[in-house]
Homo-oligomer: A and B are copies of this chain.
Amino acid sequence: MEIQARTPQQVGEALKRFRKLRKFTQREISEQIGLRQATISSVESGDAGTQLKTLTEVLKALGLELVIKERSKDDQSTLEDLF
C-alpha cells in the first residue's frame, strides 16, 4: 500500500486512510505520541501549517514512513496543485 501525496491535503487524507485501515481512533494515536487529539484532527484535515515533527510522529505511530522520489508520470495533479 502506497499513497502519493503532493499537497498537505493529500498527506492528511493518506494518514486518515491508513489510520482507518488499522482501525485506530485519533485519540489512540494522540495518546501514543503525546499530541492532542485535536492536533491529529488538524493534520488529517490537511492543515498546511502542520509541523514536520508532528507529521513524522503520526507516521511513526501508524507504522508508516515517507519516501521522497521524482514526480511520477502518471500525473494526478490538479490545477491547484500546479499553480
Contacts and interface: CB of A to CB of B under 8 A. Distances in A.
A65 B4 contact: yes
The contact size tier of chain A is: 20 to 34
B4 A52 contact: no
A70 B19 CA distance: 12
A48 interface: yes
A67 interface: yes
A12 to B, nearest CB: 9
A66 B67 contact: yes
Contact of A66 (B4, B51, B60): B4
A2 B60 contact: no
Contacts of A25: none
